[in-house]
């Protein structure tokens, strides 16, 4: 997998630096390495944002964390990522990545929501315990400090709703949703505000690891698009 991160907050906000001194991408790489993945990282300020054709062509699943610099992501790179997703690469979008160019393009909606930045408890309920992303999770788990995201969340109806969040202020949120686009699988996962140590929490890392395995599952044969042969010719080839 490749973990993509803006890597801006960690360099210009001392509070974030104290939580993620080497960057959110390195915290995720460290936590996910326990699951046996081969993991690379890429950041916004690298050439081509670190997402060269070579990198993407060797990536089964791309994890995306962005926040303050969505508009700085080059449209050509967004198109490159979209093409890879449509051709089978998995995509896991975290927290404020809901407003990234790539997620909005794949969803076709504003992906807007309400939010409140406060030290607030979040309880994440597993609402589809049979889903592979929920494997090994308890009925719910809690994060003592997180940023609130609330409905309405302007996304298409998800293929599957795996996790729902409740916050102390009373709001609820669809915090774990899946989609398919072309041959690619997409998972959006809500937690991960940069000032809280969320990505060190075992249940959070477990969800992301499960999502990587789910998104990287083998696909069926790539479909053929174009001028189709008459059925009798296809049948003759099969019989031969």
Question: What tens digit of pLDDT does each residue of 75-112 get?
Answer: 999 999 999 999 999 999 999 999 999 999 999 999 99
Identify whether 103 is part of a domain: yes
Question: What tens digit of pLDDT does each residue of 27-83 get?
Answer: 999 999 999 999 999 999 999 999 999 999 999 999 999 999 999 999 999 999 999
Identify whether 240 is part of a domain: no
4 vs 24: CA distance, rounded Å: 9
Identify whether 175 is part of a domain: yes
Q: Which domain holds residue 200?
A: 2-219
Identify whether 108 is part of a domain: yes
The pLDDT assigned to 121 comes to: 97
Identify whether 19 is part of a domain: yes
Total structural domains within the chain: 1
Identify whether 64 is part of a domain: yes
Sheet with 40-43, strands from edge to edge, namely 40-43, 2-5, 61-65, 90-94, 184-189, 172-181, 160-167, 114-126, 140-150
Identify whether 226 is part of a domain: no
Identify whether 20 is part of a domain: yes
Can you give the CATH number for the domain in which 9 is found? 3.40.50.880
pTM (two decimals): 0.94
Q: Are strands 90-94 and 61-65 parallel, antiparallel or unpaired?
A: parallel
């Amino acid at each position: 997998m490749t973990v993509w991160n803006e890597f801006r907050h960690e360099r210009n906000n001392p509070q974030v630096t104290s939580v993620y001194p080497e960057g959110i991408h390195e915290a995720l790489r460290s936590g996910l390495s326990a699951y046996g993945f081969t993991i690379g990282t890429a950041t916004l300020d690298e050439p081509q944002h670190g997402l060269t054709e070579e990198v993407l062509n060797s990536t089964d699943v791309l994890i995306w964390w962005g926040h303050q610099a969505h508009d700085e992501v080059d449209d050509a790179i967004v198109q490159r990522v979209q093409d890879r997703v449509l051709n089978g690469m998995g995509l896991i979008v975290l927290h404020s990545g809901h407003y990234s160019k790539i997620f909005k393009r794949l969803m076709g909606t504003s992906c807007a929501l309400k939010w409140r930045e406060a030290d607030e408890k979040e309880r994440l309920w597993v609402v589809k315990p049979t889903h592979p992303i929920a494997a090994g999770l308890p009925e719910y788990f809690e994060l003592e400090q997180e940023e609130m995201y609330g409905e309405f969340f302007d996304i298409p109806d998800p293929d599957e709703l795996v996790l729902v969040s409740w916050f102390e202020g009373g709001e609820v949120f669809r915090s774990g949703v899946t989609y398919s686009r072309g041959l690619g699988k997409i998972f959006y996962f809500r937690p991960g505000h940069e000032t809280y140590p969320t990505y060190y929490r075992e249940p959070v890392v477990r969800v992301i690891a499960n999502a990587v395995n789910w998104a990287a599952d083998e696909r069926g044969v790539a479909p053929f698009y174009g001028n189709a042969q008459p059925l009798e010719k296809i049948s003759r080839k099969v019989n031969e």
